[in-house]
Amino acid sequence: MSDFNIFHNPRCSKSRQTLALLQENGIEPNIIEYIKEAPSKNQLKSIIKMLDVEPREIMRKNEAEYKAAGLNDESLSKEQQIALMVEYPKVIERPIVFTKDKAAVGRPPENVLVLLK
């Protein structure tokens, strides 16, 4: 089993490009189709901490679910935001590549190369 994981959406070109870039560098990550298999709250909290971002910074604000889920409400706590991201995983930015102690968002795909060092 690989030390690398990718929150992947096969329908997304950036996600496919990031996966191909990892493979070109000899990495066969564990592929997590996060829309089908949503991350747990703890897993998402861990990734947010590794990325050193606020939950809202890794949300896809143009997804219909973002507004439908009420994620545009600025008064939501971090806990509430994370819970809604788990409930509506389509709003999570993609792709996210992570190991046990590092993570990177693959936008652009080359961002994940820092994890290979």
The catalytic residues are 12
As a whole number of angstroms, the distance between CA 71 and CA 19 comes to 28
User: Where on the phi/psi map is residue 9: left (φ > 0), alpha (ψ -120 to 50), or beta?
Assistant: beta
Torsional sign, CA 39, 44, 50, 54:
positive
Helices within the chain (DSSP H only): 13-24, 41-51, 64-68, 78-87
